[in-house]
Amino acid sequence: MALRRAIDRDEIGVHYQPIFALAGERLSGFEALARWTDDELGTVSPGDFIPVAEESGLIALVGRNVLARACADAARWAPADGSPAPGISVNVSPEQLAPALPREVEAVLERTGLAPQRLTLELTESAFVSVTGETAAVLADLCRLGVRLALDDFGTGYSSLHQLAGLPLDVLKIDQSFVAKLDDPRTRTIVTATLAMAEGLGLAVTAEGIETEVQRSALHAMGCSHGQGFGLGRPAPVESAMALVAQGARAAA
C-alpha cells in the first residue's frame, strides 16, 4: 500500500551512477537506479522495494516511470567539449518483458527525442531462465528499435551459456561479488574466462562494484572495457550527473 501511494505521489525518483570506459577513464554513460524516500519508512532500498513491486504487479508502473524519467533526463545531456553524449542504462524486471514493452520503449524514445543507441536495457539472468517464443519476439523487437541490451549481474543467477550464445546481447555486466573477490585466484580465473567469452561473442563488458583503484587497474589490465562503482562515482541525483557531463567526460573520482 505504501508503494502504491508513493507511485501515485510520484515519490519514486531516479539516481544516476556513472559508467566509465576504463581506458583513460572517460565517462561512457550512467545507470538509472530507482530511489524511494518515504515520510515514515525513510529511504527504502531498491533491493527491498523492487521485489515488492514485482510481486504486487506494480513493477510495470515503477519501470515505466523510471524509463520515462531516465530517457527525458539523458536526452538533455550534451558534453560541452563535443564528445559523444553519454548513454543511459535502465533496469528492466523479467515481469516487464511483455509484448507491450517494445511499443512502450519506442513511444518514450519518440517523446523524449533520445537516440535509441544511447539507451541500454539491463536484464537479469532470471529473465532468460526459459526464453519462450514470446520473450524472444520481445527481445527481437527491442533490437529492431536500435536499443542495446545488457545482461546484468552476470554469473550470479542461472547462467545458461547455451542461451547466452543465442541472445541478442550487447553488454555483459560482471556482478560486483566477483569484483569484491578479485584477489582470490579462483575468482580471477572466472573473471578472465568471462572476459574471453565476452570478447569472442562481441560483447562489451562492464564490471560492477569497483570500490578501489587496485580493482580498477586489475580489471583494466585483464581487458575489461568498462566499469562502475563507488570508487569511480556513486549514484547521485540528476544535477550531479549533469555536472559530470558538463565537465567534458573526465573521471572526477
User: Which residues make up the interface to ligand C2E (CB under 6 A)?
Assistant: 17, 33-34, 45-47, 50, 63, 66, 91-93, 122, 152-153, 176, 208-211, 228-230, 235
CB atoms within 10 A of CB 81: 9
Binders of Mg ion among 77-116, rule CB under 5 A?
Answer: 91
Task: Report what 50 binds from Mg ion, ligand C2E, none; CB cut-off 5-8 Å by kind.
Answer: ligand C2E
Q: What is the number of the residue whose Cβ is closest to ligand C2E? A: 229
What does 233 bind: ligand C2E, Mg ion, none (CB cut-off 5 to 8 Å by kind)?
A: none
114's grid cell:
533520445
At 147, is the secondary structure helix, strand, or coil?
A: coil
- Using DSSP's 3-state secondary structure scheme, residue 32 falls into strand
Residue 191's alpha-carbon distances to 26, 222, 232, in angstroms, are 22, 9, 20
State in angstroms the smallest separation of the CB of 48 from ligand C2E. 9
Contact window for Mg ion (CB under 5 A) among 7-15, 96-104, 182-190, 207-215: 207-215
**Cell reading at 145:** 528499435
Q: Which residue has the cell 537506479?
A: 33
The site partner of 66 among Mg ion, ligand C2E, none (C-beta below 5 to 8 Å per kind) is ligand C2E
Among 12, 73, 102, 122, binds Mg ion (CB under 5 A): 122
Q: Which residues contact 172 (CB under 8 A, 6 or more apart)?
A: 150, 151, 154, 194, 198, 203, 204, 205, 206
Could you tell me the smallest distance in angstroms from the CB atom of residue 89 to Mg ion?
7
Q: Binding to Mg ion by residue 120, rule CB under 5 A? A: no
How many residues lie near Mg ion (CB under 5 A)?
5
What SS3 class is residue 173? Answer: strand
Residues between 131 and 190 with contacts to Mg ion, criterion CB under 5 A: 152-153
CB of 125 to ligand C2E, least distance (A): 11
Interhelix angle 46-56/59-75, rounded to 10 degrees, is 120
- Regarding 125 and contact with Mg ion (CB under 5 A), the answer is no
Q: Which of 92, 160, 96 is nearest to 128 (CA)?
A: 160
**CB closer to Mg ion out of 79 and 157:** 157
Please state the closest distance from residue 205 (CB atom) to Mg ion, in A.
Answer: 13
The beta-strand segments (E) located in 41-98 are: 42-44, 87-92
Binding region for Mg ion (CB under 5 A): 91, 122, 152-153, 208
